[in-house]
Amino acid sequence: MIADRIAQIRRSIPSEVKLVAVSKYTTPTAIRAAYAAGVRDFGESRVQDAKAKQEELADLGDITWHMIGSLQSNKAKAAIAQFDWIHSLDRLSLAVQCDRLIAELGKSPQLLLQVKLAEDPSKSGWSEPELLTDLPELAKLQNLNIVGLMTILPLGLNEVQAYELFCKVGKLAEKMRSLGWTNIQELSMGMSADYAIAVKAGASLIRVGNQIFAS
């Protein structure tokens, strides 16, 4: 069942788009099923829950773990230690802290800046003007390996609105590259409900939970 769902998603996206299976609501057993079906990228939203699963799955040595949930300052150190990617770098103060912790821990996950290009009080992330304002400060944080942007859309958009917002994230990445941020190559966007639209708009990573794991 899990394998069929994964195969179906894979068939619908280009092979170069990375499928991150969001395992935050599921068990190690289900993660093993997805692994057996070929998935190697898993997304978790809480550092503590992830740790328990990572320990149980330690025999699966080649999993790439993605932190996708909002990150409290007091969890930043554990997140850097435990994750290969952090998609939810969403504020300057956290970036400053991560820069210091990465030097201290000697471990440097791939980082995505979380952006919010439409009003959405329930989500964190930089607006475009805020990000452009903070870029000079971010550029000083030499230990950060920032490789792209991540977004979560507000609820209730139609397909056209969703597509336009995803495209806006791609345009912002382009703008950053033109400002010298040439490493900004990854776009993490699209979940179960909207990944097909995100892929059309240029997503390089999609984060799919329910469509793989929901019973």
Ligand X SMILES: *Cc1c(COP(=O)(O)O)cnc(C)c1O
Among 69, 109, 125, 148, binds ligand X (CB under 6 A): 69
In whole angstroms, give the CA distance from residue 6 to residue 85. Answer: 21
In whole angstroms, give the CA distance from residue 100 to residue 212. Answer: 36
- Asked if residue 207 binds ligand X (CB under 6 A), the reply is yes
Least CB distance to ligand X at residue 199 (A): 14
Among 26, 45, 82, 110, binds ligand X (CB under 6 A): 45
Q: Which residue, judged by CB position, is nearest to ligand X in the bound state? A: 209
- Asked if residue 203 binds ligand X (CB under 6 A), the reply is no
Q: 3-class SS at 109?
A: coil
Partnered with residue 151 across adjacent β-strands are 115
In whole angstroms, give the CA distance from residue 182 to residue 94. Answer: 22
- 37 or 193: CB nearest ligand X: 193
Q: 3-class SS at 209?
A: coil
Residue 147 contacts residue 181 (beta carbons within 8 Å): no
Contacting ligand X within 103-162 (CB under 6 A): 152
- Asked if residue 47 binds ligand X (CB under 6 A), the reply is no
By CB under 6 A, name the binding residues for ligand X.
22, 24, 45, 68-69, 152, 191-193, 207-211
